[in-house]
Amino acid sequence: MGASVVDDQGALYGRVREFVVAPEIATSQVHGLVLKRPDARRGDQPSLVLITDLKLTPRNEMQLREGVLPAALREDESQLMLERDLLDQQIIDVHGRKVVRVNDVDLLWESSHENGSELSLRIVEVEVGLRGAIRRLLKGLPSAAAERIAARFNPSLIPWDFVDLIDRDPARRVKLKIEQNRLSQMHPSDIADILEELAPAERQALFISLNEEIAAEALEEVKPKMQQALIESLDSGQIADIVEEMDPGAAADLLSELPEEKSEEILGEMEPEERQEVEELLEFSGDSAAGRMTTDYIALPATARLADAIAALREFEGDIEIVTDIYLLDEEGRIASLISVVQLLLAAPDALLTELPQGHVVACDIDANGRKVAELFDKYNLRSLPVLDSEKRLVGVVHAEQVIALLRANH
């Protein structure tokens, strides 16, 4: 910043005032430099020179190529300005799974392999520690002196490839086309932690940028007050799309915390099947087994074979990672036996499920309180607990993660 650019005759043309990135062309390359002319008058538009129109002199000075005449800078919402849009901004370190603030940006000149004549200016890393902050505080001193002082502090750097930007304006964010694949691959709990670290505007922009499935998973991991804050700016249709992707139990917990009118609006926008599941769960107390259970489980007739179980697993639309057991039901819907998913791996292809080793069935009543549920999990070292109605029919399952959430909420 502030470096001089000379024209093709060696005379000063201007000084660097900003760095422009065009994400639709390259997210890790500086597209051009914004220059302030020495003879510029108040109100004059600064110039934009493309990196490809520059060369480096033997003295490492930036020079315009012969015949190049920079054009006036035109504001473009798709452009990213490094100082304006990045310095002092909160960013997600997707590698470190945390939120940090940018103090400086490190750039590197590179030349093409063919003849070395074509230059590029690559964004290498961002500085988030004291060294970058000190360097900026000393801005205006001779660069050598500033670097000497800043070098006393250890760098805290994040490679640019491990950075995802947050922009407060969702429309602008889409236009920036910053890839979020790495963010989407993070565990929902890590995304929830990041959401809680962010300032409200950045938090909202990040949440809106997530697809519905990931947003639903992250929403399940944050506290009720945060859930309400995240969805308050969305319309009922948008919230319904996210709620449909949530575990029915978690969706019922969320809607139960909202005003009744808002909850009804959201339910009205949901698909009939998902709406019915959530409405049934809303009738129960949050501290009861029914209030903690999910209706996403796999149950088959007692006459089922291995192929039926495999097909049910493939078609299961809930969180497949938490399915540890398959329930075999009699004609009245009561649990006849319980088969561990692990046993399916050892079974013969045409085996009847009732022929496989069966687990001990430990269940609770639909109105059992949270303390009773936790005691059963602890006593029998359970991974899941079936919930039975007054007729002893299976109506839902409580998983270990719901019990952990209950215990955390009570402490």
pLDDT, tens digit, 9 for 90 and up, residues 270-316: 999 999 989 988 888 666 788 888 899 999 999 999 999 999 999 99
**In the predicted model, is pLDDT for residue 180 greater than 80?**
no
Instruction: Tell me how far apart the terminal alpha carbons of the chain are, to the nearest angstrom.
Output: 52
What is the rounded CA–CA span in Å between residue 411 and residue 405? Answer: 10
CB 164 within 8 A of CB 94: yes
More confidently predicted of 237 and 74: 237
Instruction: State residue 389's pLDDT score.
Output: 94
Note the pLDDT of residue 167. 66
Mean pLDDT of 112-120: 70
* Domain extent at residue 385: 299-409
Listed residues 100, 133, 165: the one ending a domain:
165
Residue 174, pLDDT score: 36
* Same-domain pairing of 153 and 239: no
Give the residue-averaged pLDDT of 200-204. Answer: 84
Q: Which of 171-175, 182-186, 348-352 has the highest mean pLDDT?
A: 348-352
Return the residue matching tokens 């914004």: 34
Task: Strand 119-127: give its sheet, edge to edge.
Answer: 104-111, 119-127, 157-159
109 and 145 both lie in a single domain: yes
Structure tokens at 186: 């993070």
Instruction: Tell which wins on pLDDT, 43 or 373.
Output: 373
pLDDT of amino acid 181? 64
Which range among 61-75, 141-155, 162-176, 344-358 shows the weakest confidence by mean pLDDT?
162-176
Q: Which two tokens stand for residue 146?
A: 């500033």
Same domain, 264 and 334: no
CB 163 within 8 A of CB 140: no
Q: Is residue 291 part of a domain?
A: no
Q: Please indicate, yes or no, whether the overall pTM of this predicted structure exceeds 0.85.
A: no
Same domain, 157 and 243: no
At 341 the pLDDT is 93
pLDDT at residue 145, as a whole number: 85
Of the chain, the percentage scoring pLDDT greater than 70 comes to 92
- Asked if the structure places residue 288 within a domain, the reply is no
Question: How many distinct structural domains can be found in the chain?
Answer: 4
In whole numbers, what is the pLDDT of the chain averaged over residues?
Answer: 87
C-alpha 61/C-alpha 4 separation (Å) is 7
pLDDT at 310: 95
DSSP state of 222: S
The runs of H, that is alpha helices, within 26-153 are 82-85, 130-137, 143-150
Q: Single out the residue in 81, 113, 142 at which a domain terminates.
A: 81
What's the pLDDT band for 168 if we cut at 50, 70, 90?
low
Residue 108 lies in a domain: yes
Mean pLDDT on 368-388: 92
pLDDT of residue 411 exceeding 60, the answer is no
CATH number at residue 275: 1.25.60.10
CA triple 332-337-343, angle to 5 deg: 140
Q: Is residue 148 part of a domain?
A: yes
Is residue 39 a part of any domain in this protein?
Answer: yes
Answer whether residue 255 shows pLDDT above 90: yes
The CATH number covering residue 346 comes to 3.10.580.10
Q: What's 141's DSSP letter?
A: B
Task: Give just the sign of the alpha carbon dihedral 291, 292, 293, 296.
Answer: positive
Average pLDDT over residues 343-355: 92
User: Given this model, what pLDDT does residue 230 score?
Assistant: 93
3-state SS record for 143-180? HHHHHHHHCCCCCCEEEHHHEEECCCCHHHHHHHCCCC
Mean pLDDT on 36-49: 84
Q: What is the pLDDT of residues 4-33, one digit of tens each?
A: 999 999 999 999 999 999 888 888 899 999
pLDDT number for residue 98:
83
Q: Are residues 107 and 131 in the same domain?
A: yes
Average pLDDT over residues 103-115: 82
Domain boundary among 54, 81, 108: 81
Residue-level pLDDT at 304: 95
Residue 101 or residue 243, greater confidence: 243
Domain assignment present for 154: yes
Residues 115 and 67 in one domain: no
pLDDT of res. 184: 73
User: In CATH, what number is assigned to the domain containing residue 39?
Assistant: 2.30.30
